[in-house]
């Protein structure tokens, strides 16, 4: 009689474990779907973060910002008459092994770089 009672208890625990595993599996799928749908969870790449950092440096540094405002758009950091201070700041804040160019465009006009940048 004890063996029948033990078998019933084992079957009960097995069902509890199966139900728990099913819930965990379903929650796992839900979390994966939620993470993929959440746009804030998509991290920006290191290069994008560095580009934002470079623009923030120019934005917060009044002398660099004034140099940008005083430039005659369109201006390109590869031109000879481009501000040396802006070029130094760009070089200092660019990741090693990367090449970064700064283009200054007029607010009213479309910003055409005039070249195909593959970097």
Q: Which of 119, 45, 44, 48 is closest to 77 using CA atoms?
A: 119
pTM: 0.52
Range list of β-strands (E), 1-119: 75-76, 103-104
Residue of 113 and 52 predicted with greater confidence: 52
End-to-end CA distance of the chain: 78
What residues contact 53, with CB distance under 8 A and at least 6 apart? 93
Residue of 21 and 3 predicted with greater confidence: 21
């Amino acid at each position: 009689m004890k063996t029948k009672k033990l078998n019933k208890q084992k079957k009960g625990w097995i069902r509890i474990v199966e139900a728990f595993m099913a819930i965990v599996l379903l929650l796992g799928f839900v979390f994966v779907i939620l993470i993929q749908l959440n746009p804030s969870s998509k991290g920006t790449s290191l290069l994008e973060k560095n580009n934002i950092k470079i623009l923030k440096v120019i934005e917060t540094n009044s002398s660099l910002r004034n140099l940008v405002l005083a430039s005659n758009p369109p201006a390109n950091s590869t031109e000879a008459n481009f501000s040396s201070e802006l070029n130094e700041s760009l070089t200092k804040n660019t990741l090693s092994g990367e090449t970064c160019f700064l283009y200054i465009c007029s607010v009213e006009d479309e910003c055409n770089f005039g070249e195909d940048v593959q970097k």
